[in-house]
Structure 1
Amino acid sequence: MTTLTPSPAAPPRPAATPPALTGRSRLILFVLCAAQFMVALDFSVLNVALPVLGADLGLGRSALTWAVTAFALPAGGFLLLFGRIGDLYGRRRLFLGGLALFGAASLLATLAWGPGAFLAARALQGLGAAAIVPAGMSLLTTTFPEGPLRDRALGISGTLLSLGFTVGMLLGGVMTDTLGWRSTMGLLALFAAVVLPLAPGLLPESRNPERPRLDVPGAVTVTGGLLALIYALSTAAERGFGGADVLAALVVGVLLLVAFGMVESRHPAPLVSLPMLRRRTIAFGNLGGLVTFSMMSAVVFVLTLYLQETLGLSAFATGLVFGVQGALSVLAGTLAPKVIGRLGARRTLVASLAGQGVLTAALLGIGTGSGVVLATVAVSLASMCHLGAIISYGLTVTSGVPDNEQGLATGLVTTTQQVGLTIGIPLLGSLATAGGELYGGVRTVLAVDAAVVLATALLVAAGLRRRA
């Protein structure tokens, strides 16, 4: 009788290792992130140079705000439209065109011979940024598949986005003092000149293969509505909400956005799919993104006032405080993908919002005679949570979206970023000086800010809860 001898057990299969970035994908990520960093740098590098710039070009105090507003209007107003154009006609083509326009406009701003030329250059920079940001994000999300690779890519991109704002604040002051305000614009032109030659040979082309007709009525109403809204909020940051032009722009903006919703519900190929906006991940993900951007920008604004006017710190010392914030943001960018890998994007978003809210509340412990250490530690840790929210909300919104709609989804993400950065300071910053006593006003802003972020964390947690 023969006996069957059991075959030896198969050796255990090694645990799957997460996919690694190839050399080519690293270069693609470098190009896309460098462009995003350049745009983020543009948002802040000019701020500390504004007084010197105004004196040189003959821009008065009231007109000086247009150095910022001229960029913010097209940068925010055309994001959705350009995101859809990239879907239809090619994201790589749009990205390269935006990069070329941004570089040329930065060179024009560097050489500006008068206020008109400078403001026109700033508007063209904003238009270039409105093409670069959604096209770059779409290329990133379509190049790197959903999962660990995309998590890592978005983590690096989010880190450089946050770092760009901080580096801009530090570089702006140093370069203006040593080389003059024109050097800040020249730096942006140099960035574009380095990135643009690398992009054509590396970036793949992608578009919606069906190429439906462009929704012109939707494009006109949403672009006009966003332009009016951003103008109103940017102007209100300087002059308050009582001006006739601010109120008129708010009304026009709301009416145009309502008209946009009506147009989209009837158009056969809408610019924004209303069923997409009804997706819980997109609705609540963008809500989390809007709040984390707007509330963190308000915190940075009022802490800048507090450190310099209440505690008497110099601009350089204040920059060092935010330099610590930037360094920890880099650390957060390396940790966030690992946290998302364990918790998932949705839970990470909720936890990050909660952490940002709690640490903002901790800033209420600052005093009139001391508070530098508490302000440095709390705002830096809050910024780490803020960066976690940025990365996880981007993943939440873009996860599960087909490639032919990635431009639209990332357009919503970047529009949320721009609107959040625009509304935070005018909505809360005015509270800091409303009562005449800065310290009390700063504490009021911090209390409201913390309450809004914590309430949003609860709303997002409820909205993103999976149904059985």
Structure 2
Amino acid sequence: MAPVLTRRGIVVLFAACLACLMFGLEISSVPTVLPTLEQVLDADFRQLQWVMNAYTIAVTSVLMAVGTIADRYGRKRVFLVSIAAFGLASLICGLAGNVSTLIAARFLQGLSGGAMLICQLAVLSHEFQEGRERAVAWGWWGVIFGIGLGFGPIVGGGIVAVSSWQWVFLIHVAFAIVAFALALTGVHESKDPHAGRLDLAGILTLSPAVFCLVFTITQGPELGFASPAALAFLCLSIASFVAFLIAERVSERPMFDFSVFRIRSFSGAIVGSAAMNISYWPFMIYLPIWFHAGLGLDSFATGLALLAYTLPTLVMPPLAERLSLRYRPGVIIPAGLAIIGIGFFLMRWGSAATHASWLTMLPGSLIAGAGLGITNTPVTNTSTGSVSRNRAGMASGIDMSARMISLAVNIAVMGFILASGVLAHLIAALPDLDGARLNQLAEAIAAGNPAPGLPDKVAHDALANGFGWVMLYGGIGVWIMAAIGFAVFKARPARQEAAPRLD
């Protein structure tokens, strides 16, 4: 029997898989080193949020644009540029001597990472067009992407344990060199002769809308939500989003074609994309703080504990595909979201236990991860399979944008809720302290820092209260989104639903 993939095909697949591994690791490995960054770089709680937000906001800002650029100027060319830029940005991250430099480098890393993600999808789609080889290539790509996201916590924790936090970023320099060489020798250049103009108006209005909203949420407690500065950023966010909607309506080739939202299966899948990122993924940014500061685990043990949260996302997708084919995505996607909610409520119970430990967190972590694993694959297949082939790229871009925008916003929202929950406990426990001192202590505790002069039990209980609020938000939020998604799917009779194409 002839091999499924040619030798050149294997080289192309290796290049794409290495690129997706880098992208996934930079989302999931960095949270485990945030406590170390706080100590080494003297970063405060909001700066730690921006270490993550800078990456996700930057990814969002280029997702829809890069596809058009690659189609017009060459997919291989843009892919190579994005890999090189990602390696350079990773080098700057690893050499950063202060948190401001790290945040700026993370933004550059996100820009190149988003471009790298879209280009690898375009390269794989062009290189593997036959049924069997296409299935094999996309199957391996999905597995490697899942490994990057699932094993990132233990990779980050292990690197810190045996070396230093810098190597969490510097390791991608080596990966980028190998990926660049593979792509240079294996990938064939391809273009779309009918590619349209870049939607600059859409890019220049959507990115400020997201950035200003996240800035308002993260800086609101310090500025005061009713302050002129905070209100100005909020108004700018709203104005930018309205301008984005207008720009997309009048553009001849918009990056967001809102007519696809008339397809109920597509709209339901996008609700699922957003729901996963108001609950599961943003919480992974903060969960290491609880394991480290709340439960007393070191960096490596924190990475191991986080495997319970991430490993089910690798195990469940094959089952999710079978369930989706049997019961329809309109049932499976909301059901998966509901399971994530159950996991969050169980984690909240585990964090409030008398002798809280990683064992009390284990059931909720496993169930939340299983819910994510059940939801993720049907969401992706449904969002791209419910539209025609020539719109699949645009649909994929909307799907990824919904994920990244909701992730960036909810990293900020969860951080605000965490700090507020900590502050509420401190106000009740220490009524004699002035507000400024309480706010200072709350931010320190929420970031996992020691609180000098404060009894350990008070600090621990305050952190537990803050995380209880966050888990409650995640559980209730994802249940609400599950109900909305179910209603959207059910808004049209099942026999009229467009079956998702898995090819």
TM range (shorter): 0.7 to 0.9
Q: Are 2:444 and 1:460 aligned?
A: no
- What is the match of residue 110 of structure 2? 126
- 1:233-260 per-position Cα deviation (integer Å, ceiling 9, x unaligned): 5556998856765543332122111111
Q: Are 2:347 and 1:384 aligned?
A: no
Q: CA deviation at 1:182?
A: 2.2
- What is the match of residue 249 of structure 1? 233
Quick one: distance in 1 between partners of 2:345 and 2:94?
41
The partner residue of 2:394 within 368, 387, 408 is 408
- Contact 1:207-1:404 within 8 A present in 2 as well: no
Amino acid paired to 1:410: S
User: Which segments of 5 or more consecutive residues in structure 2 lack a partner in the other structure?
Assistant: 426-461, 497-503
- What is the match of residue 442 of structure 1? 467
Quick one: distance in 2 between partners of 1:27 and 1:387?
29
Q: Are 2:2 and 1:22 aligned?
A: no
Amino acid paired to 2:411: I
Q: CA deviation at 1:64?
A: 5.7
Q: Are 2:242 and 1:217 aligned?
A: no
Distance verdict in 2 for CA 1:289–1:29, change over 3 Å: farther
- What is the match of residue 15 of structure 1? none
- What is the match of residue 279 of structure 2? 295
- Contact 2:248-2:257 within 8 A present in 1 as well: yes
- What is the match of residue 311 of structure 2? 327
Amino acid paired to 1:418: M
- What is the match of residue 433 of structure 2? none
Distance verdict in 2 for CA 1:211–1:165, change over 3 Å: closer
User: Which segments of 5 or more consecutive residues in structure 1 lack a partner in the other structure?
Assistant: 1-19
Quick one: distance in 2 between partners of 1:135 and 1:99?
10
Quick one: distance in 2 between partners of 1:142 and 1:399?
17
Quick one: distance in 2 between partners of 1:41 and 1:237?
31
- What is the match of residue 14 of structure 1? none
The partner residue of 1:421 within 402, 407, 419 is 407
> What root-mean-square deviation, in Å, do the aligned CA atoms of Structure 1 and Structure 2 show?
3.6
Q: CA deviation at 1:228?
A: 2.8
Q: How many residues are paired up? A: 450
Distance verdict in 2 for CA 1:188–1:301, change over 3 Å: closer
Quick one: distance in 1 between partners of 2:131 and 2:373?
19
- Contact 2:271-2:484 within 8 A present in 1 as well: no
- What is the match of residue 17 of structure 1? none
Distance verdict in 2 for CA 1:176–1:317, change over 3 Å: closer
Q: CA deviation at 1:189?
A: 0.8
Amino acid paired to 2:162: T
Distance verdict in 2 for CA 1:246–1:30, change over 3 Å: farther
TM-score normalised by structure 1 residue count: 0.81
Quick one: distance in 1 between partners of 2:42 and 2:90?
19
Matches within 5 A, 1:210-289: 210-233=194-217, 235=219, 245-289=229-273
Distance verdict in 2 for CA 1:65–1:445, change over 3 Å: closer
TM-score normalised by structure 2 residue count: 0.76
Quick one: distance in 1 between partners of 2:41 and 2:287?
30
Amino acid paired to 2:470: V
Partner secondary structure for residue 198 of structure 2:
coil
Q: CA deviation at 1:373?
A: 2.7
Quick one: distance in 1 between partners of 2:65 and 2:259?
18
Which segment drifts farther, 24-33 or 392-401? 24-33
- Contact 1:39-1:129 within 8 A present in 2 as well: yes
- Contact 2:79-2:120 within 8 A present in 1 as well: yes
- What is the match of residue 339 of structure 2? 355
Amino acid paired to 2:65: L
- 1:50-97 per-position Cα deviation (integer Å, ceiling 9, x unaligned): 565566667677656554444343222222222333344443332222
Q: CA deviation at 1:136?
A: 2.3
